[in-house]
Amino acid sequence: MLLLTRRQTIFAAIAASLAGRTAFAQSAPAKVRIALDWTPNTNHIGIYVAKEKGFYADAGLDVEILPFADTSAGTLVSNGVADFGISSEIETLTQRAGGGDVKMVYGVVQTETARLIFKGGRDDIKSPKDLDGKTYGGFGGTWESALISAMIRNDGGKGDVKTVTLGTSAYEALDNGSIDFTLEIYTWEGIAAELENRKIGRFHYSDYGIPDEQTTVIVSSDAYLSASREHARAFIQATRKGYAYSVDHPDEACDLLISGSNGALMNTELVKASQKALIEGHFLKSEAGVIGRLDPAKAEALGGFLMENGILVDANGAALKEKPDFSTYYTNDLLD
C-alpha cells in the first residue's frame, strides 16, 4: 500500500510538471518583429502606444521594434528578417512589382502627407512649371523623377530638372540655397519648419495630377501571413487600437512615443505639434472615421500612374508590359 502511494505521488508530480510546462508553452507570447522606415516619429506612434499600453501583450504578442537601418523595411520583410515593416505605398508597389514578397496590410495615413517644397519668398517660383531647369535635392527613389516631371508637365512645363541625391541633408541644402526644391513629409519636416519660423513654399502632388496616396503603410509578406495568420491579425488589430488611442489621447500618446524611443526623440514640442497636425488633418483617422484601412481606389490609381511612367519593373529591371492585379498588393482582411 505504501509503494502504491509513493508511485501515485511520483506520477502526480510528473503530471503536474508536464501540465505546468504545457500551460507555459501555451501562454508564452508570440514573437513579432517590425522594422521602422526611419528614426522614431509620429508616423510610428500607434506602434509605440500599443507596446507601452500593453495592447500587444494582451493580444499574446511580444513585439520587437527593430531600429532603422540602411536596408528598407520592405526588403527586410521580403527576406524574412522582419515580420512587418513601415513603408510607403509607392515603395511597396514598386518592390512587389519587382518580385519582392511584400504586401500592404495597414494604412497608417489615409491621405497624402508629402509635399514638394521650396524656400519661401522666391519670386521666380509660382507653380511647378517654374521648376524647369532648377536643381532638385533627392533621396534616391526611382519614382521621384517621374513624380516631379509629371507635376511640372501637368502645369505646362517641360519637366526637365537637375537632380542631386542628398538624403535628409536636402533640407539644409534648401536653406542655404544649394538646391532649389525637394520633398518633405509635411506632418514632420513641415511642422519642424513652422516651429523654427522657416518660410517654406509647398505644392500638393494631387493639385498637379498625381494620384492621392496613403503615404505611410505597414507591410508584411505572403510567407508570414500564410504561416502566422492569427498572430498577424492580432498584431494589426492591436496596432489599430494603438493608433486610435493616439488620436483620442494625443498628449499621453506623445509621451509614450518619446519614452519608448530610448532617447531618439528629444523635441517634445515637435512631437506634440506633429501629432496635432496628423489629427486635425484627418490623416490618422479620416473625417468619416476610417482608421487603418487601405483604399483600393488609391492603390489602383497610384499603381496605374507608376505603370504609365515606367516605374514598375520586373526582377530583371524591365518595365512591366502588362498591368498587374493591384488587388493582390494589399489586404484589409486582418482588420476584420
Q: What class does CATH assign to 115-208?
A: alpha beta
Percent of the chain with pLDDT over 90: 87
Residues 63-71, mean pLDDT to the nearest whole number: 92
Q: 122 vs 117, 125, 177, 232, CA distance in Å? A: 12, 6, 11, 49
Percent of the chain with pLDDT over 70: 92
Task: Return the domain boundaries, the chain.
Answer: 30-112+214-328, 115-208
CATH superfamily of 30-112+214-328: Periplasmic binding protein-like II (3.40.190.10)
Strand 103-107 relative to strand 216-220, pairing: antiparallel
What confidence score (pLDDT) does residue 14 get?
43
Residues 30-53, mean pLDDT to the nearest whole number: 97
Q: Categorize the per-residue pLDDT at 141 as very low, low, confident or very high, splitting at 50, 70 and 90.
A: confident
Same fold yes or no, 30-112+214-328 and 115-208: yes
Q: Categorize the per-residue pLDDT at 9 as very low, low, confident or very high, splitting at 50, 70 and 90.
A: very low
88 pLDDT more than 90: yes
What confidence score (pLDDT) does residue 4 get?
41
What confidence score (pLDDT) does residue 168 get?
84
CB neighbour class for 123 (10 Å; exposed up to 12, middle 13-18, buried from 19)? exposed
Q: Rg of the chain over CA atoms, in angstroms?
A: 24
What confidence score (pLDDT) does residue 195 get?
97
Q: Categorize the per-residue pLDDT at 318 as very low, low, confident or very high, splitting at 50, 70 and 90.
A: very high
- 167-211 pLDDT, tens per residue? 889 999 999 999 999 999 999 999 999 999 999 999 999 999 999
